[in-house]
Amino acid sequence: MASSSKKRNEMVNEAEEEEELEHFDDFTLASSWERFISEIEAVCRQWLASGPKNLLEKGAVPLGEPKNLYKVKSELKYAMKNYCMEYYFEISNAGKVVDWNCTSHDLQLSFGVKEFMVIAPQSASGVILDSPEASKLLSAVAIAFSNCSSLWPAFVPVHDPSRKAYIGIQSMGTVFTRRFEADLIASQVPVKLMHLEGLYELFVSKFAFSSSDLSTHLFRVHFTMKLTYKTLPYDDDNELQKSDSEITESGVDTVSDSRNKLQWDDDCPWSEWYTAEDPVKAFELIAMWEEKTVESSMEMAELENASIHEAQKWFIVPEFSSYLLSSNCYFSTYFDGLFVLIIFTFFFTRQRIDGPPEFNNDAILLCSMGDHMGNMVGFASQLRLLIDALAMSLEVQFMEDFVSVETSGSDKLKSSAVIPPPTVLDRVLKDLCHAGPGLISPQGGHKSSRTIKGAPLENLFAQFCLHSLWFGDCNIRAIAVLWIEFIREVRWCWEECQPLPRMPTNGTLDLSTCLVNQKLHMLAICIDKKRQQLDSQQDGNNSDSLSVEADDLVKEGLSDPSRAKERLVEESDSTSTSDGFHKSGTTIHRYSSTPQYDVTSANLESSNHKRRGSAGVVESMMLLNSHNYMHAPFTQDPPIMTEDMHEERLHAVEVLGDSFSFSAQLEKDILSSDMSAFKAANPDAVFEDFIRWHSPKDWEDDDSCTSSSSTVETGELKKKWPPRGRLSERMSDSGNSWRKIWNDAPPLPVSEQKPLMDPNREGEKILHYLETVPPHQLLEQMVCTAFRAAADTLNQTSFGGLKHMTTKMDQLYLTLASVLRPLQANKLPGDIEIIEDIRRLCVVFEHVEKLIMVAASLHRKFLQAPHLAQAIFVDFYDFYVGDWFVQEVKKRQEVRVKERDVITNMFVQPSANQSWRKVLSMGNLLNGHEPILREIVFSLRDRVDSSYHAPRNSWSHEQEIETHRMYICGTSNDLRVALSVTSCD
């Protein structure tokens, strides 16, 4: 038994010895940490071999800011953890390491490097919270970089992500190594470190008392600084507090008036309808000091108290409102002089400032335009509501049906549509109808405004449409109520013979406007003629005194023909028609209701007939059968006709089938009236005299027969008489219709003639049309007029002549005319998709509205510095109409020396409520404003002699290197410090 147990023990010992031999450590195999280093080295070698250009082709990711920086990344695994290694590089390595003028990466600015690598764990925080792990990871990267001879600096994020803390290392290729460390003081910053003097001493403490081999006895510290200031944004509460203090001693509160005066857009044309939020919320001013040498803390104290105007460079950065960044995706293209909608989607395309607009036909973005309307309240938002009302107008036949209780669907309308109270209605009608007659200037609007078939901005119907946009919520019921009351006011003006407000009472109808505007214009003329008829009846008893006045007028014309000529209109060439009728070659202003008087010819030797209805002497003409001067008669105005009346004439021509006879009959009354008036003004005249005055082209002068002509002297004038010539061939025909009309026309002045147009009948017809116009036809004209009036209102904005904005307004008018053309042709009932097209048009209008507000805001802020307004707007325009994936505009504009006072005046002295601190903690004040951000770079440089350890191709004799560098960034609330130290290992 003893022997068996002994054998058993020997077998166990042998098994243990064999087991020990099987588990020995083989140091020829790589450990997991070494394999991790090898993987880092392999990736690094691959990136080094590829180079920046090849890395771009392989998918390097560009960073938004700075634009010249790219990155590639690779994922690694070590000890059950995943790590991400990112390599940041630039295409161009030109320029300084620290350059305030360009936008740099945070690590580039903190440590003064260009290309670098960051390795971090793939976790939620992305940082390493364990210090030993961070040191081990950084050591692995340093070994890998050393193996592949890489000089890239490597960084590892540590601590909490909000601290932006890093540690890093870089091999300088010699015996020198740079170490990096950055951290943030987020709690209370020591008072000493709030000032430049304390920050300077903090930097000096890093080397002044250390046992470094580098020479530190000369504290020649290199210093550069950048300060950022920000203007106070518009604050409603502060403005209200300011207004509260402006209460008069009598106790009258003037808050509302004061607030209205404080709005930024009070003098803008749209301020009559709405107040917009200022698109430019604030400005950041960046002041930069170039590098200088500082040898003591006293110099830093002096610099803290120095004026900001001593900074070598100023830059300004605008801060735009957030509502500008919504819904900036639409496209427009140019085709045959007109804008054509591409897939019902609109975008603005980039344009050159020094050349014609260029259009990118490939930049088509498919999106639902109905989902991209912004939240801004303006013309675009209200126009969209008006289009909704247009869609509902197809449901009924009369506008009264939207107000009537018995109308089908009325409950649905009442539940979703609100009518403003009577007080609001009265205020709108008072604003519309209590203004005098309007004098419309044809040059007042945009050159392309007439291409939109609406109404001029100053006219009554255009103002009605603009009021409709803001009446209630612009629903169909509110519009119906306003229209019905509006027509009642128009009828009152007609019945009381009161001038129609905001409408001209003379001139010809503009057929390029909408039909409602034509009707209102014609009604204003009818009211004026009706009132003249009433006045002439009342003044009939005073004809004797007026006859004396008229006689004086004739005598004045005979004694001084040049003055009489001023009362006539310049002659124009006549245009002949195929039927033998010929329009007047001399256009005389026609008076249809002015009383005419019988006056005796001043030349009693030649005529004893009474002359009636003379408007004055025609200086250059004498009658054929007498030595008297020719007199131009007062003639009736031709009948004015609106567009639908012209269409009725054409329809009648088609029905009769003989356009020649019908046209002649229509013009016969006008021609007969002119002949009667001419006979009354020239009793001795013959048919040939009328032709010489009315149609000069039908009178052929015969200059060869002037030898037998006698000379008639009248004052200083000498005229040859009788005039030699003959009628044209068509007028000399025996069957000419003009001669027949001349023979039948009695000599009657216009006061005794039958009016060519009956103002009473035409006025009632116009009112009947306005009272019974179908809702969809009214809303179609309202939409066109509202778009045109809104565009004309925006076009009146003063924006300093910005070329981009001028071009964009031209594009807008062409786009509006193209999209609204189906409404002008009355195609809506048969094509409902037109409404969807117009809804998309609101998106285009909204973008132009935002752009013009930005231009107006910049123009008002930089009246004395238009160069800055131009540069800032062009930068914003390129962002807004270019890459809509960029979410902010941070491009800064350099401020010239002569423009610095303009920027300084923008920083008004803050009040106690506007100041964030009662006691300012930092220096370098600008009109009482302390910097919102201060960035400083301290650096110490030393010379390194060439040695055995320093390669000659890398370090020259007595080459200067940066031994210490400190980047400080912060405010009085926080302070971030980044330190890099070069040491000799």
* Predicted pLDDT at 880: 83
Angstrom distance (rounded) from CA 71 to CA 120: 15
pLDDT score of 438 more than 80: no
Report whether pLDDT(549) > 90.
no
178-182, 923-927, 981-985 — which one is most confidently predicted on average? 178-182
Q: Whole-number mean pLDDT of the chain?
A: 77
- CA 348/CA 849 separation, integer angstroms: 13
> 410-442 b/e with 16+ CB inside 10 Å = b?
beebeeebebbeeeebeebbeebbeeebbebee
Alpha carbon separation from 438 to 27, 434, 524 (Å, rounded): 102, 12, 10
Residue with tokens 């035409």: 762
What is the percentage of the chain residues whose pLDDT exceeds 90?
39
More confident residue, 187 or 690: 690
The answer, yes or no, to whether residue 249 has pLDDT greater than 60, is no
- Number of other residues whose CB lies within 10 A of the CB of residue 952: 8
Q: Return the ∠ at Cα 477 (arms to 430 and 472), rounded to 5°.
A: 55
Contacts of 973 (CB under 8 A, 6+ apart): 189
What is the reported pLDDT for 888?
56
Displacement of CA 702 from its chain's centroid (Å): 63
* pLDDT surpassing 90 at residue 663: no
Query: Is residue 425 a contact partner of residue 431, using CB atoms and an 8 Å limit?
Result: no
244 pLDDT above the threshold of 50? no
Average pLDDT (312-324) is 90
CB contact set of 530 (below 8 Å; sequence gap of 6+): 497, 759, 760, 763
Question: Which residue blocks in 148-249 are alpha helix, DSSP H?
Answer: 196-204, 236-244
Task: Give the per-residue pLDDT at 100.
Answer: 72
736 pLDDT above the threshold of 50:
yes
* Residue 373 predicted with pLDDT over 60: no
Give CA–CA dist 252/246, Å, rounded: 9
For the residues 330-356, what does the mean pLDDT come to? 35
Q: Nearest to residue 820, comparing CAs of 516, 514, 463?
A: 514
Under the banding of pLDDT at 50, 70 and 90, the label for residue 336 is very low
d(CA 252, CA 222): 62
Report pLDDT for 68. 80
Which residues, listed in sequence order, are joined to residue 171 by a DSSP beta bridge? 177
- Read off the tokens for 882: 């270019």
Q: Given this model, what pLDDT does residue 127 score? A: 80
pLDDT at 966 over 70: yes
The pLDDT assigned to 729 comes to 83
Among 40-44, 77-81, 235-239, the range with the most confident prediction by mean pLDDT is 40-44
Compute the average pLDDT of residues 226-247. 61
Query: Looking at the predicted structure, is the pLDDT value of residue 788 above 50?
Result: yes
Q: Check pLDDT > 80 for residue 889.
A: no
Which are the contacts of 273, defined by CB distance < 8 A and separation ≥ 6? 379, 466, 469, 470, 793
Which range (307-321, 640-654, 913-927) has the least confidence? 913-927
Do 522 and 640 contact (CB within 8 A), yes or no? yes
Locus of tokens 């009518």: 419
Q: For residue 539, how many C-alpha atoms fall within 13 Å in the half-sphere facing its CB?
A: 15
Q: Quickly state the pLDDT bin for 666 (edges 50, 70, 90).
A: low
CB contact at 8 A, 615 and 631: yes
What is the reported pTM? 0.75
Burial per residue of 464-473, b for 16 or more beta-carbon CB atoms within 10 angstroms, e otherwise: bbbbbbbbbb
Query: Which of 19-28, 289-298, 453-462, 820-829 has the highest average model confidence (pLDDT)?
Result: 453-462
The strand pair at 598-600 and 629-633 is best described as unpaired
Q: What is the pLDDT of residues 279-304, one digit of tens each?
A: 999 999 999 999 999 988 888 889 98
Collapse the DSSP code of 761 into the 3-class scheme (helix H, G, I; strand E, B; otherwise coil) and give the result.
helix
Task: Supply 130's token pair.
Answer: 């364990």
Exposure of 221 by Cβ count < 10 A (0-12 exposed, 13-18 middle, 19+ buried)?
Answer: buried
Place of tokens 């001067």: 629
Maximum CA pair distance of the chain?
181
Which are the contacts of 624, defined by CB distance < 8 A and separation ≥ 6?
A: 686, 688, 689, 722, 723
Asked if pLDDT for residue 944 goes beyond 90, the answer is no
The stretches of 124-192 forming alpha helices (DSSP H) are 131-147
Tens digit of each residue's pLDDT (9 = 90 or more) over 378-429: 999 999 999 999 999 888 888 888 887 555 455 555 555 788 999 999 999 9
Can you list the pairs that 463-467 forms with residues at least 24 positions away whose Cβ atoms lie under 8 Å? 463/431, 463/432, 463/502, 463/789, 464/432, 465/782, 465/785, 465/786, 465/789, 466/273, 466/786, 466/789, 466/790, 466/793, 467/428, 467/431, 467/432
Best-predicted range by mean pLDDT among 61-65, 777-781, 921-925? 777-781
Q: How many helices (H) and strands (E) does the chain have?
A: 26, 24
**C-alpha to C-alpha distance for 763 and 758, rounded to whole angstroms:** 9
- Which range among 497-511, 673-687, 948-962 shows the weakest confidence by mean pLDDT? 948-962
Three-state SS for 114? coil
Higher pLDDT, 302 or 4: 302
pLDDT of residue 18: 53
Q: Is 700 helix (H, G, I), strand (E, B) or coil?
A: strand
Residue with tokens 């903690």: 921
Q: Name the range with the highest mean pLDDT among 55-64, 149-158, 394-403.
A: 149-158
- Given a cut of 60, whether residue 513 has pLDDT beyond it is yes
Q: Is residue 952 very low, low, confident or very high in pLDDT (cuts 50, 70, 90)?
A: very low
Q: Which of 62-66, 564-568, 612-616 has the lowest mean pLDDT?
A: 564-568
How large is the average pLDDT for residues 523-534?
91
Residue pLDDT, tens place only, 588-614 = 444 333 434 444 444 433 444 688 888
Helix or strand (DSSP H, E) at 460: helix 460-470
Q: Is the pLDDT of residue 810 over 50?
A: yes
Pairing status of strand 629-633 against strand 614-622: antiparallel
Q: What is the spatial distance between Cα 172 and Cα 169, in angstroms, rounded to a whole number?
A: 10
pLDDT per residue as tens digits for the range 442-496 = 445 788 999 999 999 999 999 999 999 999 889 999 999 999 999 999 999 999 9
Alpha carbons within 13 A on the beta-carbon side of 567: 20
pLDDT(557) > 50: no
Check whether the bond before 66 is cis (ω within 30° of 0).
yes
Task: Give the integer Cα–Cα distance in Å for 925 and 937.
Answer: 20
Q: Enter the DSSP assignment of 324.
A: G
User: What whole-number distance in Å separates Cα of residue 853 and Cα of residue 797?
Assistant: 9
Distance, in Å, from the CA atom of 347 to the CA atom of 329, rounded to the nearest integer, reads: 5
Sort strands 221-230 and 717-721 into parallel, antiparallel or unpaired: unpaired
pLDDT at 243: 43
Long-range CB contacts for residues 831-836, cutoff 8 Å, separation at least 24: 832/391, 835/387, 835/390, 835/391, 836/344
Phi and psi at residue 919, to the nearest 5°? -120, 120
**Average pLDDT of the segment spanning 238-252:** 41
Give, in order, the Cα–Cα distances in Å from 302 to each of 93, 923, 924: 36, 10, 10
| C-alpha–C-alpha distance, residues 454 and 784, integer Å | 5
Please report the pLDDT score of residue 133 as a whole number: 84
| pLDDT higher than 60, residue 554 | no
- What is the CB neighbour count within 10 angstroms for residue 35? 13
Please give the pLDDT value at position 333. Answer: 34
Tokens of 535: 């006045």
SS3 of residue 840 by DSSP = helix
Q: What percent of the chain has pLDDT over 70?
A: 70
Read off the tokens for 35. Answer: 């394999």
β 154-158/116-121 pair status = parallel
Which residues are paired to 61 by β-bridges? 71
CA–CA separation, 438 and 418 (whole Å): 32
* Cβ neighbours around 933 below 10 Å, total: 14
